[in-house]
Chain A
Amino acid sequence: MDKRKIGTCWLDGCSGCHMSLLDMDEGIVALLEKADIVFGPLVDAQEWPEGVDVAVIEGAVSSQDDLKLAQTARARSHVVVALGDCAVTGNVPSMRNGIPSRKLLERIYVEGATERPGVPTDGVPALLKRVEPLQAAIKVDVHVPGCPPKPNSILFVLSELLEGREPDLGSKLRFG
Chain B
Amino acid sequence: MTEKVKVRIDGEVIAATPGQTILEVARANNKYIPALCYMEGLSAVGACRLCMVEVSGVARLLPACTTPVQEGLAVVTSSPQLQSHRKIALELLFAERNHVCAVCVSSGHCELQALAQDHGVTHVRYPYNYPRLTVDTTHPRYVLDHNRCVLCSRCVRTCAEIEGAHVWDIAGRGIHSRLVSELQRPWGEATTCTSCGKCVQACPTGAMAEKGWGVEEMTKQPAVLSRLTSMREGQ
Contact = CB atoms under 8 A, between A and B. Distances in A.
Interface of A: 82, 85, 88-92, 94-95, 97-99, 130, 132-133, 135-136, 140, 143-145, 147, 169-170, 173-176
B94 interface: yes
B132 interface: yes
Contact of A133 (B98, B102, B123, B131): B123
Contacts of B98: 94-95, 97-98
Given A95-B100, A175-B117, A176-B108, A145 B122 contact: yes
- The B contact surface, by secondary structure, is loop
B103 A92 contact: yes
Nearest to A144: B122
24 contacts: A82-B123, A85-B100, A88-B123, A89-B100, A91-B100, A91-B102, A92-B100, A94-B130, A95-B103, A98-B133, A99-B132, A132-B128, A133-B128, A136-B127, A143-B122, A145-B123, A147-B102, A169-B122, A173-B121, A173-B122, A174-B117, A175-B107, A175-B117, A176-B108
- Point out which of B122, B127, B132 has the most chain A C-beta atoms below 10 A from its C-beta: B122
Contacts of A145: 122-123
A173 B130 contact: no
Interface residues of B, number: 25
Contacts, number: 69
B64 to A, nearest CB: 25
A140 B107 CA distance: 25
A89 B94 contact: yes
Interface of B: 94, 98-104, 107-108, 113, 116-117, 120-124, 127-128, 130-133, 216
Contacts of A169: 120, 122
